A and B are shown apart, each in its own frame.
Chain A
Amino acid sequence: MSGFVSSATPTRLTAQRLATVLGSATLLLALLAVLAPLLGVTADAHGRHLSLLSTAAFDPSSTENAILWVRIPRVLACLLVGAALGASGAGLQAILRNPLAEPFTLGISSGSALAAVIAIRIGVETWLGAAGVGFAALLGAGATLLVVWRLARTEQRLPAATLVLAGVTVSMFCSAASVLIQYTSDFSEVSRMLRWMMGGLESMRLSTVGWAAAPIVVGIATLIAFTRELNALAAGEEAAASVGVAVARTQSVVFIVASLLVGVSIAVAGPIGFVGLIVPHAIRGTVGPDHRLLVPASALGGAALLLICDSLARMVAAPAQLPAGAVTAVLGGPFFIFILVGHKWRANLWGRS
């Protein structure tokens, strides 16, 4: 397990270390994923207590089996959405060389939230169902991506500072527009809008997971294919170009793919904050800055974090359920502060600080 030792003086990444770290992480995640759908909280005369589904859950005619099949799509959605957010956060931080880069600062989340709010306001749900809102959110993410892209791109380049500036500006505009629409909506619409914006994975359908799986897997694989280029970009655009990296292509592909990963995640689960921001930071502090390891490890870490948060969201207030997005933010905030104040960690996060 030496691969997990905090790398204050990181050593060169070898295929063996990559395999060890990713292999152990995958194993842990698989254990979590098997445990999560079996675990629940039951309330009876003696109060609430944790309970595991018994082996009867594997009998298709039992109630427990029905419960299992409610939980399984939700666990799968957590894995996909968490992995998409973790990997895209790592990719965005790398091309922007900015520790604050994440779906929210780039306006993608606000843009898709605005689209979802508009969809709810004009009553898309009545003729398309809840999936209509998710679809609108995906379109909103795509539209925001195009706007931010057009604003930021100058000549052949995609300067990091303008991209963040454009993202923050678009994000503020979309948030303000969402507030205005909410202000003019009736009470029931507003409550559905707010509920959607909290993000959540309850009532997940296997079909939703099914259509989201392919784009997320392909997206993460694409990001992983560009991780050597991301390493070179750490030294800046010109330095990366001079060692042979096609900088504009790398930035474009990573930005578009990461944004689409975020868009699909939002369509599936609503906006879920903090995973794209804290997971890459925490992983970088643990395994070092090499993106060949960081990006896949952030995908695994994001999946694990969202699975844990969603399981908590399902259980802490059972039978009531909390929105998973609120849990990630409530747990993520303090965790991030904990990382920031840890002196040894701080230097590992972003280099000289």
Chain B
Amino acid sequence: MATEQAKVGTAQAPAITLRGASVALSRRTIIAGIDADAHAGNLVAIIGPNGSGKSTLLRAIAGLLPLAGGNIEVLGRAPFGAARRSLARQLCYLPQQTELAFGFSVEEVVLLGRYAQQRGAGFADTADVAAAHEAMTRCDVTHLAARRFDQLSGGEARRVLLAQALCQAATCLLLDEPTAAIDPAHARSVMQLVRAQCERGAVALLVTHDVDLALRYATHVWALDGGALVAQGEPATVLQDPAVTKAFGIAIHVGQLPSGQAFAVPA
């Protein structure tokens, strides 16, 4: 997979750019006037209370929602209305919830992530199988390969879908609560592998409610409140920003373990 991983963006040009981005659903403004940049190598945690527009923002960046104003560019082009097939080679998106119809096996579900790379009848070739199995190994779901997807636990299903997103070999990762329903050990390994992708040149935006994971693994945090970006920057600073405290209605305490490792908890 590393070979397919091209460096995205340069030090000057950000991989993802938002300028005054606004989104309305059924004429109700969900996010309004967001300005932000994410560069190659960045792992951005998007935090905010329920209904603050985190998922909507991610869907807009994935090109799944039209903008009501402003613009968004992913690797130099507007994602909404772009050809999905070529977009899928650059950008993968893990939805917050997925309900799968039909009893596909885990391996089949992961291989669906190779759609944009395949031609013709789309029988998985050795490259597809290798990519799928590497993604499954990294998400620790190889042992589930022959199981039916609809019979997995919630956390297992999440990890399988993450493997599907990873085997797309995209350089922009948009992950909506990738660690929700995942046990603490697996949640950390998920964050580690996303971080590793970023260190190899990818850019990741992930929505999370876990402020401790955000502090430990993210390079940046964007905090949303009522559809507006109220704070952005280095994780420890943003988590303790008064605007974030106001948004959550509760302060986030950032401290240090005896080992020197920083941690964050809602105070």
Measuring CB to CB, which residues of chain A are less than 8 angstroms from any residue of chain B? Answer: 8-15, 18, 97, 228, 231-232, 234-236, 238-239, 241-247, 284, 288-290, 292, 347-352
Which A residues are in CB contact (< 8 Å) with B92? 242-243
Which B residues are in CB contact (< 8 Å) with A290? 104, 108
- Could you tell me if B146 and A235 are in contact, using CB atoms closer than 8 angstroms? no
Which B residues are in CB contact (< 8 Å) with A232? 112, 115
- Could you tell me if A9 and B148 are in contact, using CB atoms closer than 8 angstroms? yes
- Could you tell me if B98 and A350 are in contact, using CB atoms closer than 8 angstroms? no
Chain B residues bordering chain A, tally (CB within 8 A): 45
22 A-B pairs whose Cβ atoms sit less than 8 Å apart in the complex = A9-B148, A10-B148, A18-B123, A228-B118, A228-B121, A231-B104, A234-B100, A234-B104, A235-B100, A241-B63, A241-B64, A242-B84, A243-B88, A244-B89, A244-B115, A244-B116, A247-B84, A288-B103, A289-B104, A347-B148, A350-B103, A351-B150
Select one of A14, A239, A241, A351 contacting B123, CB under 8 A: A14
Rounded to whole angstroms, the CA-CA distance of A235 and B160 in the bound complex is 13
User: Chain A's interface: helix, strand, loop or mixed, by majority?
Assistant: loop
Binary per-residue interface labels of chain B (89-104) against chain A in the complex, 1 for a CB within 8 Å, 0 otherwise: 1011101001111111
> Given A10-B105, A11-B146, A288-B103, do A236 and B115 touch, yes or no (CB 8 Å)?
no
Decide if B62 is an interface residue (CB 8 Å cutoff). yes
From residue A14, how far is it (CB to closest CB) to chain B in Å? 6
> Given A234-B102, A236-B98, A244-B87, do A352 and B151 touch, yes or no (CB 8 Å)?
yes
Rounded to whole angstroms, the CA-CA distance of A225 and B115 in the bound complex is 14
Select one of B62, B83, B105 contacting A242, CB under 8 A: B62
Known: A18-B121, A242-B93, A289-B104. 4 other contacts (CB 8 A): A97-B101, A238-B59, A243-B92, A244-B88
Measuring CB to CB, which residues of chain B are less than 8 angstroms from any residue of chain A? Answer: 59, 62-64, 83-89, 91-93, 95, 98-105, 107-109, 111-113, 115-116, 118, 121-124, 146-151, 164-165, 168
> Given A242-B62, A244-B85, A350-B101, do A15 and B121 touch, yes or no (CB 8 Å)?
yes
Closest to B89 in A: A244
Which B residues are in CB contact (< 8 Å) with A228? 115, 118, 121-122
Rounded to whole angstroms, the CA-CA distance of A245 and B86 in the bound complex is 10
